Amino acid sequence: MRDTRRLRLPRLSIRSLPGLLAALLLPLGLLTPAAAAASPPDATAAADPVRIMPLGDSITGSPGCWRALLWNRLQDAGHTGIDFVGTLPPQGCGIAHDGDNEGHGGELVTNVASQGLLPARLAATRPDIVVMHFGTNDVWSNVAPDRILAAYDTLLAQMRESNPDIRVLVAQLIPMNPATCAACAQRVVALNARIPAWAAGAHTSRSPVVVVDQWTGFDTATDTYDGVHPDASGDEKIAARWFPALAAQLESTPGDPGNPGDPGDPTLTCTASFRSVSVWQGGYQAEVTVRNTSAAPVRGWTVTLRPADGARVTQVWNGALKPAADGTATVADAGWNGALAPGASTAFGLIATTTAGPAAPAATVDCAATPAS
């Protein structure tokens, strides 16, 4: 039964009205400017996620399971404030992950550059970091490394126009050995040998360009299903190579909730570029240039060098050589040439023996920097 008794309201004095009005207006957000200014800011507002664009062709796009593995590895490491972006949706990998990407099957990086395809994709996704494995179809089509690297220049300029602070991780391509392209394997080696020098020239402290070696240790016989595209083993290797480089960028990117350290700590990077000096029957002389591409000094460096065509490094000067049974050579600084200021470079020379024919010497090189004490 409804209670029809009348309610008695307390009598209010004029002086009590302002307090009552304030109490009534508070839930409606209608406080005066002075009262609103006194309210503390919302400390729980989440920072914007770091937007990461995986960029490339079918190796990146379909099904792109290395992206799923990389996403989950980053999540497990605490980098939860990230967003993979791209105009393409997930493309078939049956692993839960953020599948947005920019991996267009069959695309040549030279065509993307010449046809101006990237700016609209950048405008739609606004990436902070680009993870780029691009050029496999160009190599297959026998496009010269000079043209591929010129396309890299075009894409990088477009990225920086979209975001002057963009960070770019560029891969030395995984090997390829398709049944219909006998020359492709060596063409990949030739392009990869040029990428570190390109990256060193393109790098700036505001918009870093970091080389990630996806070639070394990748075997087309066991890590691809067709000599080109990664299988499950290949996906694991690709994700494992991207992870430390991308995590390092996230740890130096303000606003990433997964950053366990000081966001002001610089990321230390260096690049190494290989140059043939002279060739003779059964061997050659080469030079490797090491450059500090980070914004802080380094006190030492180590270069991992894998010569092409079965060559073996037998002698090094201005560095300390540690060869491995599989032909990989590790060269550390000689002490006196280890400390490099930002942008500074040094070089070491080497002698290698080879049973290859007259093809120009080539090698895949990678560099790791040691922080200055």
pLDDT one-digit tens code per residue, 258-275:
333 344 445 788 999 999
Work out the pLDDT band at 2, boundaries 50, 70, 90.
very low
Beta carbons within 10 angstroms of residue 194's beta carbon:
18
pLDDT of 72 reads: 95
Residue 364 has pLDDT above 80, yes or no: yes
- Averaged over 337-355, what is the pLDDT? 87
pLDDT of 46 reads: 56
Burial profile 267-283: b = 16 or more Cβ within 10 angstroms, e = fewer: bbbbbbbbeeeebeeeb
pLDDT one-digit tens code per residue, 237-260:
999 999 988 988 888 754 443 333
- Averaged over 296-318, what is the pLDDT? 90
Under a CB-based contact definition with an 8 Å cutoff, are residues 339 and 246 in contact? no
pLDDT of 50 reads: 97
Across all residues in the chain, what is the average pLDDT?
A: 84
Decide which of 39 and 333 is more confident. 333
Determine phi and psi for 84, rounding to 5 degrees. Answer: -70, 130
Q: Which amino acid type is present at position 256?
A: D
Q: Which amino acid type is present at position 302?
A: T
- Averaged over 214-236, what is the pLDDT? 94
pTM over 0.85: no
pLDDT of 122 reads: 98
Most trustworthy range by pLDDT among 243-247, 301-305, 323-327: 301-305
pLDDT of 205 reads: 86
pLDDT of 18 reads: 44
C-alpha atoms less than 13 angstroms from C-alpha of 62 in its C-beta half-sphere: 9
Q: What is the 3-state secondary structure (H, E, C) of the chain?
A: CCCCCCCCCCCCCHHHHHHHHHHHHHHHCCCCHHHHHCCCCCCCCCCCCEEEEEEECHHHHCCCHHHHHHHHHHHHCCCCCEEECCCECCCCCCCCCCCCEEECCCCCHHHHHHCCCHHHHHHHHCCCEEEEECCHHHHHCCCCHHHHHHHHHHHHHHHHHHCCCCEEEEEECCCCCCCCCCCHHHHHHHHHHHHHHHHHHHCCCCCCEEEEECCCCCCHHHHECCCCCECHHHHHHHHHHHHHHHHHHHHCCCCCCCCCCCCCCCCCCEEEEEEEEEEECCEEEEEEEEEECCCCCEEEEEEEEEECCCCEEEEEECCEEEECCCCCEEEECCCCCCCECCCCEEEEEEEEECCCCCCCCCEEEEEEEEECC
pLDDT of 262 reads: 40
20-24, 123-127, 139-143, 335-339: lowest mean pLDDT where? 20-24
Q: How far apart are CA 102 and CA 53, in angstroms?
A: 7
pLDDT of 236 reads: 95
pLDDT one-digit tens code per residue, 33-91:
333 334 444 333 357 999 999 999 999 999 999 999 999 999 999 999 999 999 999 98
Work out the pLDDT band at 7, boundaries 50, 70, 90.
very low
Write the CB contacts of 106 (distance below 8 Å, at least 6 apart in sequence).
57, 58, 137
Work out the pLDDT band at 25, boundaries 50, 70, 90.
very low
Distances (CA, A) of 306 to 102, 180, 337: 30, 26, 22
Under a CB-based contact definition with an 8 Å cutoff, are residues 70 and 86 in contact? no
pLDDT of 358 reads: 61
Most trustworthy range by pLDDT among 2-6, 152-156, 203-207, 209-213: 152-156
Decide which of 131 and 10 is more confident. 131
- Averaged over 279-289, what is the pLDDT? 91
- Averaged over 160-168, what is the pLDDT? 96
- Averaged over 194-221, what is the pLDDT? 89
pLDDT of 40 reads: 42
